[in-house]
């Protein structure tokens, strides 16, 4: 493993020699715009004011619906940097809530969704891909794809899993 100094030299070279900085700035702007889009289009969502930029691992923001908030749950729109993939996650208010729902959902058939492993540091209870190969040259279409995927995920999750769950 390289030392911090060696890593910083390599980082500087990447910034100089690649489009990394432009890509990162573009992603941050898109995520801010997507967050604003959801807040303005979906008044039923309580969209967080915060955008977690991450450490080039994942970038996300969260929001709740009336039902998810009552159940101490939240949704997260997540960009996985290494995969260049958008996902949506069902998460909990805290670790205790997440573990309780994880235990309850173990007996459910997940279909197209992934029940995460219940381990220290988990960020999601259920994960689903929104866009696996995003086209950042078509931001309007990308926003539409993500928005549609979010809508399908929420309706499905709340109908099949959350509405009848009590942790």
Q: Is residue 115 part of a domain?
A: yes
Q: Is residue 10 part of a domain?
A: no
Query: Computed from CA positions of residues 12, 18, 20, 21, in that sequence, does the dihedral angle turn out positive or negative?
Result: positive
For 97-122, give the secondary structure using H, E and C: HHHHHHHHHCCCCCCCCEECCCCCCC
| CA distance readout (Å), 147 to 91, 120, 134, 142, 152 | 18, 30, 13, 8, 9
**pLDDT at site 165:** 59
Q: Is residue 2 part of a domain?
A: no
Question: From CA 140, how far away is CA 24, in angstroms rounded?
Answer: 19
4: exposed, middle or buried (C-beta count within 10 Å: 0-12, 13-18, 19+)? exposed
Q: Please tell me the total count of domains within the chain.
A: 1
**pLDDT at site 24:** 97
**pLDDT at site 120:** 64
Residue numbers in the chain where pLDDT is lower than 50: none
**pLDDT at site 162:** 84
Q: Is residue 143 part of a domain?
A: yes
Q: Is residue 40 part of a domain?
A: yes
Cβ atoms of residues 62 and 74 within 8 Å: yes
pLDDT in tens, 65-81: 999 999 999 999 999 99
The residue assigned the tokens 């992603």 is 27
Task: Supply the range of the domain harboring residue 120.
Answer: 28-162
């Amino acid at each position: 493993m390289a030392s911090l100094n060696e890593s910083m030299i390599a980082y500087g070279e990447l910034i100089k020699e690649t489009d990394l900085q432009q890509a990162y700035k573009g992603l941050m702007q898109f995520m801010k715009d997507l967050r604003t889009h959801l807040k303005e289009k979906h008044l039923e969502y309580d969209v967080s004011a915060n955008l977690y930029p991450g450490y080039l691992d994942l970038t996300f923001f969260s929001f709740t619906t009336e039902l998810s908030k009552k159940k101490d749950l939240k949704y997260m729109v997540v960009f996985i940097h290494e995969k260049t993939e958008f996902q949506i996650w069902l998460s909990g208010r805290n670790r205790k809530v997440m573990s309780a729902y994880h235990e309850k959902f173990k007996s459910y058939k997940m279909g197209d969704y992934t029940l995460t492993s219940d381990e220290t540091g988990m960020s999601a209870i259920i994960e689903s891909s929104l866009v696996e190969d995003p086209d950042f040259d078509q931001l309007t279409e990308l926003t539409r794809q993500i928005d549609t995927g979010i809508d399908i995920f929420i309706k499905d999750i709340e109908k099949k899993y959350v509405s009848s769950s009590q942790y």
